[in-house]
Amino acid sequence: MNDLSLLKEIPDPLTAAPPTPAAVAPPRPLATSPGRGQIRRRRRAALAIAGVWLCAHLAAYGVRQDMHRLSAPYVALQMVLPTLLAAASLLVAVAPGKRGLGLGVSLLAALAILGPLSFWLLAAGMPAPYAADPRDGFWLGAAVCLDITLLWATAPLLLAGMALRRAFPASSRWRSALVGGATGLACGSAINLHCSNPDRCHLVGAHGLPIVVAALVGGFVLSRWARA
C-alpha cells in the first residue's frame, strides 16, 4: 500500500477531454399539438362526412311519398325546425366563450334538455295530417324506425369523438351531450323526412327516443374523449 504510483493512472478531471458528441444521446423530439387551423379543418371534415353519411342513407331509403298531403307548418316544425335546433346545439357546444372555456353551464344544460324535449312536444302536440293506416303494425314499424335512426347516428357520433378529442376544458359533459343531441335531432329530422307514419305515438317513441339516446351517449361516452 506504500506504492503511490497507481495515483498517476487516475485522470485529472480538469484536464480530461469532454465526451465526444457521438456519445451524447440526441434529444427526443417533442410532441406537437395540432394548431387551430388543423383543428378547424378536422372539425369541418367530420361535419362534412357526417352530412354525406346522413344524406346518402336518406337517398338510399327514400323520401316519404306523402309530401303533397302535408301542410307547410307540419313540414316546418317536424323537419326544418329539428335541423335548425341541431345546428344551434352544435354551435353552442363548440363555442369557445370569452375565456376559451365554453359558454355558461346553465345555457348548455337548458339547450341540451330542451332540444330533445321540443322534438317530443312537437311530435305529441301537432295534429296528425291524416289518420294512420290501421293495417300497419305499430311495434314492427316502431322497431324499424328506431333501428334506422340509431344506425344513422352512429357514424356522426364516432366522427365527433375523433374531431373533438380533448376539445372541452370545462363543462365537457353538457357540451358533449349537446353534440349528441345535435346528432340525434339531425337524424330525427331525417327520419321524419323518410317515414310517412303520422301516428303521434310512433313519432314520439320511434323517432324521438333515439335523440335522447344520442344525447346520453354524448354526455356519458363522448365526454370522455372530449374532456381536455
47 located within any domain = yes
- The answer for residues whose C-beta is within 8 angstroms of residue 183's C-beta and 6 or more apart is 50, 86, 153, 156, 157, 160, 214, 218
**Residue 100 phi/psi, 5° resolution?**
75, 10
59 located within any domain = yes
Domain membership of residue 91 as a residue range: 40-226
8 located within any domain = no
C-alpha cell at 172: 365537457
d(CA 57, CA 52): 8
Please state the domain count of the chain: 1
Q: What is the DSSP letter of 227?
A: B
d(CA 168, CA 28): 29
d(CA 54, CA 60): 10
Q: Can you tell me whether residue 9 is helix, strand or coil?
A: helix
pLDDT tens for residues 186-222? 999 999 999 999 999 999 999 999 999 999 999 999 9
Query: Hunting for cell 451524447 — which residue is that?
Result: 24
137 located within any domain = yes
**3-state SS, one letter per residue, for 145-188:** HHHHHHHHHHHHHHHHHHHCCCCECCCHHHHHHHHHHHHHHHHH
173 located within any domain = yes
Question: Which of these ranges, 41-45, 74-78, 131-135, has the smallest mean pLDDT?
Answer: 131-135
Average pLDDT over residues 122-135: 87
45 located within any domain = yes
19 located within any domain = no
User: Cα dihedral sign for 204, 208, 209, 212?
Assistant: negative
pLDDT tens for residues 61-84? 999 999 999 999 999 999 999 999
Q: Is the pTM of this model over 0.75?
A: yes
pLDDT tens for residues 156-170? 999 999 999 988 988
Query: Hunting for cell 329530422 — which residue is that?
Result: 189
24 located within any domain = no
